[in-house]
Structure 1
Amino acid sequence: MAQKAAKTLATRNSARLFQTHLISAVLHTFFLLALWFSNRYSLKRYLILGILPNLALEAILDYIGRPRYHADGSLRTAGADLGATGLTEYMWDVVYWTWICMCTVLILGNRGWWFTMVIPLYSVYAVYTTFMGVKKGFAGMAGGGGAEGEEGSAEAKSKRELKKEKRGPRYKTR
C-alpha cells in the first residue's frame, strides 16, 4: 500500500487524459468529415481557432499530468494533479470551450468561430479581477484603518458596535 495517493492520482490522470484525447479525436474527426463533405466551413479558421489551441493545451496537459513509470513498471511520478485550480483549471476551460466552439461551428457555420472571442475576454476579466483583488489587499496592508485618532468614526466601529449604539443603553441609571 505504499504510495497509495500517488497511485490513485496516476490512475485518475491516465483516465482523464485518455477520455480527453478520445473526445478530442472524435470531435476533430467529425469536424474534418463535415469539412470534407461541405464547403460551409473554413479550413484556415479551423486550423487556427480549433486545432492550434486545443492540441497545444492537450499536449501541455498530457506532459504535466502523464504518470511516469520505471523500467520495472513501478510508479516513478504520478504527474501533476489535473484537477488543480489556477492555470491548470484555465487550460481545461480553454480545451472545453474550444470543443464547444467546434460544435457551434458545425451548427451555425463559420459564424460560430466568433464564440472563441470569449476566451481572451474572460482572460482580461480574470486578470482585472485578480489585479483589483491584489490592489485591495495591498491597500489594507498599508494601515488604512486609522483608528488611533478617530475612535468615534463609523469606519473604525464594527457592525456589532453600531447596532449597540442604535439600540441604546440596556439599563437606566437613577
Structure 2
Amino acid sequence: MAQKSLKQLAARNKSTLNRTLFLTIGIHAFFVLTRIFFRPFTRSSLIKYILLSTPSWLIQFWFERMARPTHDAQTGELRRAGEDLEAQGMTEWMWDVLYWTYGCLVLVAVAGEAAWWLWAGIPLYSAYLAYTTFTGAKKSMAGLAGAGSPDQGHATGSKRQQKMEKRGQKVQYR
C-alpha cells in the first residue's frame, strides 16, 4: 500500500484526462461535421475556428504534459502521478477556459457565426479574476501594514473593549 495517495491521484488524473480528451475530440468533430454538412466553412469562419479553438488545444496539451501519470515500462511501477487537476488558481482557470470554449463551439455549430462573440467572455472573466485578486491582495496588505500602528489598536480592540467604549466607560489599553 505504499504511495496510496499517489496511486489514487494517478488514477483520478488518468480518468479525467481520458474523459476530457474524448469530450474535446467529440465536440470538435461535432463542430466540423455540422460545418461540413449544414453551414459550409467560409474563410473567416475557418480563421475564427482555428484562432479561437487554439487555446483549448493548448490547454489540453498542457494538461496531458503536466498531469498524465507515467509508469515504468518494465515493472509497471508508478513513476510520476502528475500534478493535481483539481488544484486551485491557474489550473482552475484553465478548466474554465476549456469548458467555455466547448460551449462556444457547440453554440456556433448550432446557432451560427454570431455565437463567436460569446468567446469574448473569457478575457472579461480573466480581467474580473485579476481585478478581484489584486483588490483582495491589496486589502490583505493594507491590514498587515496597519497592524503595528498605535491608531489602529484603539479601533480594533476586543469586543468587550468596544462595548465598554460604546457605553462611555473608560478603557485602558496596555
Shorter-chain TM-score: what band? 0.7 to 0.9
> 1:61: which partner in 2?
63
Which range moves more in the overlay, 138-147 or 87-96? 138-147
Aligned residues: 165
Listed as ranges, the matches of 1:61-140 within 5 Å are 61-72=63-74, 73-140=76-143
Deviation at 1:43, TM superposition (A): 1.7
CA RMSD of aligned residues (A): 2.2
Normalising by structure 1, we get a TM-score of 0.84
> 2:4: which partner in 1?
4
Deviation at 1:158, TM superposition (A): 4.7
Listed as ranges, the matches of 1:8-27 within 5 Å are 8-27=8-27
Distance 2:104 2:153 in 1: 56
Deviation at 1:33, TM superposition (A): 0.5
Distance 1:83 1:75 in 2: 20
Distance 1:27 1:34 in 2: 11
SS of 1:76's partner is strand
Structure 1 residues without counterparts, runs of 5 or longer: 170-174
Deviation at 1:150, TM superposition (A): 7.9
Q: Which amino acid aligns with 1:29?
A: A
Deviation at 1:8, TM superposition (A): 0.7
Distance 1:164-1:49 versus aligned 2 partners, 3 A rule: same
Deviation at 1:146, TM superposition (A): 3.8
> 1:172: which partner in 2?
none
- Contact 2:146–2:152 (Cα < 8 Å) also in 1: no
Deviation at 1:67, TM superposition (A): 0.3
Distance 1:148-1:53 versus aligned 2 partners, 3 A rule: closer
Q: Name the one with the larger helix percent.
A: 2
- Contact 1:65–1:80 (Cα < 8 Å) also in 2: yes
Which range moves more in the overlay, 23-32 or 35-44? 35-44
Structure 2 residues without counterparts, runs of 5 or longer: 170-174
Q: Which amino acid aligns with 1:124?
A: A
